[in-house]
Amino acid sequence: MAEENCLYTQGFTLLGILTAAYIVIRQTWRAVRGLRTHVLSQWWRTDLTKYGRWAVVTGATDGIGKAYALELAKRGLDIVLISRTLEKLKRVAAEIEKASGRKIKYIQADFTNGSNIYHTIQEELKGLEIGVLVNNVGMKLSDLPVKFLDTPNLEKMVESIINCNIMSAVQMTRIVLSQMVQRKKGLVINISSEAGRRPLPMALMYSASKVFVDYFSRGLDLEYKSKGITVQCVMPMFVSTEMTYNMNTNVFVKSADAFACEALNTVEYTERTSGCLSHTIQSYASSLLPDFLFYFILGLKSLEKYFVDLNTSYKNKAN
């Protein structure tokens, strides 16, 4: 009996040691990968021009999209800007051309309008050697926080979010990917969000749409990696843009320009990223919380108060 108890004790001790060793090795490996992705990549950047001459960026006149377009131009690519407002397209095109000396084209398109816009986009892109596609365009509900059934103009808003946040990534990839596969090289960057890692109450449609972008990206990468195609999903935390009411930047909140620069450094270092070191650390800390604890800490009331405070802060700045 004593011998059996001793064997059980030794077995559980060995299991504990192996479990602890596994956790230490796993976390050490994650830390090493993080340093490689976010630190070493600043000095050993991927040459993005090897994918092709042109980069196409959707939602390119504001925020992260504009910052990606500018950074890609600085790194030697000609740029196609696609966005809704013609005046903004002209202004941003001139701004990027002046800053980078690269050739800039633009296409006016409203991605909330559904599938009728993609024939025109496809025709406009014919003949261009497109090496990089950045599926950035996206929208959130204008009336946050709000529960699903309380959303104003719910039917129209649901259709618009699906068209803009989901259909745009699928259709733009369809248009561009085939010629990348023919050339056996190409880079597709899909901008998702940290909000896509777990359901986000009071902003549910936005959160759910970003889950699609994440899964679409990961599956696409597995399907086409062997064809020479790199697919990266970028899932940022808070970036100071109009969508986040131009929050003040700090160690947690990145400016769009700084974020785009760091995120592009991670290309070929990782297929799924928070984009920058600060956001990666924040995302990792959040992931340690089990769902029940995460939602207990967050709480619907806390989340609602957060959005209200954010809206109030934005209105005060505007005044």
Q: Which tokens sit at 30?
A: 């994650």
Spell out the SS3 assignment of the chain.
CHHHHHHHHHHHHHHHHHHHHHHHHHHHHHHHHHHHHHCHHHCCCCCHHHHCCEEEEECCCCHHHHHHHHHHHHCCCEEEEEECCHHHHHHHHHHHHHHHCCCEEEEECCHHHCHHHHHHHHHHHCCCCEEEEEECCCCCCCCCCCCHHHCCCHHHHHHHHHHHHHHHHHHHHHHHHHHHHHHCCEEEEEECCHHHCCCCCCCHHHHHHHHHHHHHHHHHHHHHHHHCEEEEEECCCCEECHHHCCCCCCCCCEEHHHHHHHHHHCCCCCCEECCCHHHHHHHHHHHCCCHHHHHHHHCHHHHHHHHHHHHHHHHHHHC
Give yes or no: 22 in active site. Answer: no
Active-site residue (options: 51, 206, 215, 224): 206
Q: List active site positions.
A: 206
